Amino acid sequence: MVEARVTIAMRIRTPIRSTLLALCFIGSLPSVALGKRAAPVEVPPVLAGGVRYEAPHVLNPCKQNGGCVVAYDNATNALLWSVKVYCTRYDSNLEQDVQDVFITSLALEGGRLLVGNEKGQHFSIATDTQTVSGDDRGCSNGSSGCRYLPGKRPQPTGGILTIWGALGLLGIVRARRKRGRS
């Protein structure tokens, strides 16, 4: 009789626990669940004189999504320089992903890298000095374009899974394993 009560209580708790853990996991993924913008268009790199110019959308040394151009030695893949072409100001009352402004085009013309973005703005970067010119960059006065020199490789920041999400996922896996043993 006692054994039957314990078995019934365990059967009731397992679905509740699994549901709570699943909700914790899903709740930790707001950018995936609530994102309202399409993925940015991939911009092909530009290659000239052994240098590869790229416009990484995220995980770049400029510490913002979009607006960053990075130059690599094409033979060694060594970082030569990177520059923040424009600054994105975020309104804390809106979701960040819908405010991101990404680079849509790169082209090289006469020693200058021509850059276009989703807002229709146009900039140029002198490849020898990394000086940025063009439309209003939106950065504070006196900003040098936020240059980053060699040795400052892009570092991953954040991730989709938070601690709560990882714990929730672990709980779901454990609950499924227990059900498999019963």
Answer yes or no: is 96 within a domain: yes
Alpha helices in the chain (DSSP H): 2-27, 30-34, 163-181
User: How high is the pLDDT of residue 57?
Assistant: 94
Range of the domain at 129: 46-134
0.85 cut: is pTM over it?
A: no
Provide the strand spans (E) within 7-136.
46-48, 51-54, 68-73, 79-84, 103-109, 112-117, 122-126, 132-134
Distance CA 133, CA 126 (A): 8
22 and 33 Cβ atoms separated by less than 8 Å: no
Distance CA 61, CA 14 (A): 45
User: What rounded mean pLDDT belongs to the chain?
Assistant: 75
What angle do helix axes 163-181 and 2-27 make, rounded to 10 degrees?
A: 150
User: How high is the pLDDT of residue 160?
Assistant: 40
Share of the chain above pLDDT 90, in %: 47
| pLDDT class of 3 with cuts at 50, 70, 90 | low
Answer yes or no: is 129 within a domain: yes
Domain count, the chain: 1
Answer yes or no: is 112 within a domain: yes
Answer yes or no: is 1 within a domain: no
Answer yes or no: is 124 within a domain: yes
User: How high is the pLDDT of residue 10?
Assistant: 52
Answer yes or no: is 26 within a domain: no
pLDDT mean over 156-181: 49
- On the question of pLDDT at 63 being above 80, the answer is yes
pLDDT mean over 159-164: 41
39 and 58 Cβ atoms separated by less than 8 Å: no
Tell me the CATH number at 97.
Answer: 2.40.10.480
**Does residue 141 or residue 54 have the better pLDDT?**
54
- On the question of pLDDT at 8 being above 80, the answer is no
| pLDDT class of 31 with cuts at 50, 70, 90 | very low
- On the question of pLDDT at 134 being above 70, the answer is yes
User: How high is the pLDDT of residue 154?
Assistant: 38
